[in-house]
């Protein structure tokens, strides 16, 4: 993998990732008369729950669902300048122009998977998906080293139903200056499990899923995808490496090599699930251990959709949004069976 680092007109960092180590990428300047957006997000503590809440009012002005010919994530060309100065790219990462976290209290980056606007991650080749994995890993390593980082969160939102404001295939990476609330809950649960059994919670969850074949969607030599026993979303799949590691930097070459095939197959199953022409909206979230106090946590990916039927969405309404009490319309075993059948 070849990394080429550049700067955008307002000083933000941009990094090109090329699969070929010998790739020569010219430093194409960003000619836009661009001034840095004034962003002063504030992290507040909800004393009633112990959760951190980020107030980022400047994001009200961010770009919202522009037409394809005005997409800021496409390569520059045809007399139009975008966030990517080059006329082409493989994978590119850059600092978000409208970050939720900034100013020494975290960092937000955008990851563009492909220069093609009308595709999705599921359309990538295994080679390109591997390059994305390598970029995620590199950024996890780099962002973990930033002062104040407590956890690195890698994720992709896909589809207007999820709230995506840019339709170009992309994900994000956050260097969080706090441990995410869901991670804190997992940490506490893992500590209780260790105290009660002497074993690791996540190793046991994987073992139980693999033993209960009815919830397994697919499995390889190094990875297993399964629907959790208490799934919160109608179609929710967790993807675990068989060997417990804290984060993406801990994966072996064999685990990295197998991941693209397993993950692409999973995404394509999601797209075939409802038999519709429209791609399935989803959230894909990597759970990585925080830098401190995360010894019991295991790297895994959680993939879920808010669609519960071809013409119905699962809205996190009264119980979910109001009380954080999820009520699922689809039995996990049924969801796993339907995903296995979505070949």
pLDDT in tens, 234-254: 999 999 999 999 999 999 999
For 122-135, write each residue's pLDDT tens digit. 999 999 999 999 99
Q: What is the pLDDT of residue 39?
A: 81
The span from the CA of 155 to the CA of 174, in Å, is: 9
Helix (H), strand (E) at residue 15: strand 13-18
Q: What is the pLDDT of residue 64?
A: 85
Residue 226 has pLDDT above 90, yes or no: yes
Catalytic residues: 170
pLDDT band for 34, please (50, 70, 90 cuts).
very high
The span from the CA of 280 to the CA of 314, in Å, is: 13
The span from the CA of 54 to the CA of 99, in Å, is: 11
Q: What is the pLDDT of residue 312?
A: 95
* Domain boundary assignment for the chain: 2-181, 182-341
What value does the mean pLDDT take over residues 180-192? 97
CA atoms within 13 A on the CB side of 110: 24
Q: Which two tokens stand for residue 96?
A: 């978000």
332: number of Cβ within 10 Å: 23
Measuring CA to CA, which residue among 117, 173, 118 is closest to residue 286?
173
Fold of 182-341: HIT family, subunit A (3.30.428)
For 59-114, write each residue's pLDDT tens digit. 987 888 899 999 999 999 999 999 999 999 999 999 999 999 987 889 999 999 99
What value does the mean pLDDT take over residues 256-275? 97
pLDDT band for 306, please (50, 70, 90 cuts).
very high
Q: Are strands 223-226 and 216-219 parallel, antiparallel or unpaired?
A: antiparallel
Q: What is the CATH number of domain 2-181?
A: 3.30.428.10
Widest Cα–Cα separation across the chain: 64
Average model confidence (pLDDT) across the chain = 96
Q: What is the pLDDT of residue 85?
A: 98
For 190-215, write each residue's pLDDT tens digit. 999 999 999 999 999 999 999 988 99
What value does the mean pLDDT take over residues 16-23? 95
Q: Fold identical between 2-181 and 182-341?
A: yes
Tokens 């996540």, residue?
Answer: 202
68-107: buried (b, 16+ CB within 10 Å) or exposed (e) per residue? eeebbbbbbeeeeebbbbbeebbbbbbbbbbbbbbeebbb
Share of the chain above pLDDT 90, in %: 92
Is pTM, for the whole model, over 0.85? yes
pLDDT band for 268, please (50, 70, 90 cuts).
very high
40 CB contacts (<8 Å, ≥6 apart)?
58, 102, 103
Q: What is the pLDDT of residue 63?
A: 86
For 100-124, write each residue's pLDDT tens digit. 998 788 999 999 999 999 999 999 9
């Amino acid at each position: 993998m070849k990394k080429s680092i550049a700067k955008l007109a307002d000083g933000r960092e941009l990094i090109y990732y090329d699969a070929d180590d010998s790739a020569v990428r010219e430093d194409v300047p960003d000619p836009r008369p661009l001034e840095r957006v004034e962003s002063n997000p504030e992290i507040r503590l909800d004393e009633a729950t112990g959760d951190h809440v980020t107030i980022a009012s400047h994001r009200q002005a961010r770009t919202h669902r522009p037409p394809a010919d005005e997409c800021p994530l496409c390569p520059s060309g045809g007399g139009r300048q975008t966030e990517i100065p080059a006329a082409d790219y493989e994978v590119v990462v850059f600092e978000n122009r409208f970050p939720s976290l900034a100013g020494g209290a975290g960092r937000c980056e955008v990851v563009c998977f492909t220069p093609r606007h009308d595709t999705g991650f599921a359309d990538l080749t295994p080679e390109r998906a591997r390059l994305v994995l390598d970029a995620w890993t590199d950024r996890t390593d780099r962002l973990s080293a930033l002062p104040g980082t407590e956890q690195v969160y890698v994720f992709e939102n896909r589809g207007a139903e999820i709230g995506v404001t840019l339709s170009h295939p992309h994900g994000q990476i956050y260097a969080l200056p706090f441990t995410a609330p869901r991670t804190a809950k997992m940490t506490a649960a893992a500590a209780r499990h260790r105290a009660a059994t002497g074993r690791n919670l996540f190793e046991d969850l994987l073992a139980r899923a693999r033993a209960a074949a009815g919830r397994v969607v697919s499995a390889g030599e190094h990875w297993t995808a399964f629907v959790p026993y208490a799934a919160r979303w109608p179609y929710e799949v967790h993807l675990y490496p068989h060997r417990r590691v804290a984060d993406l930097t801990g994966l072996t070459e064999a685990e990295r090599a197998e991941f693209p095939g397993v993950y692409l197959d999973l995404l394509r199953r999601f797209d075939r699930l409802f038999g519709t022409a429209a791609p399935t909206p989803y959230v894909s979230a990597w759970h990585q251990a925080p830098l401190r106090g995360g010894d019991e946590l295991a790297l895994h990916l959680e993939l879920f959709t808010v669609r519960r039927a071809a013409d119905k969405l699962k809205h996190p309404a009264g119980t979910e949004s109001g009380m954080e009490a999820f009520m699922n319309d689809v039995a996990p075993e049924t969801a796993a069976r339907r995903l296995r059948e979505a070949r």
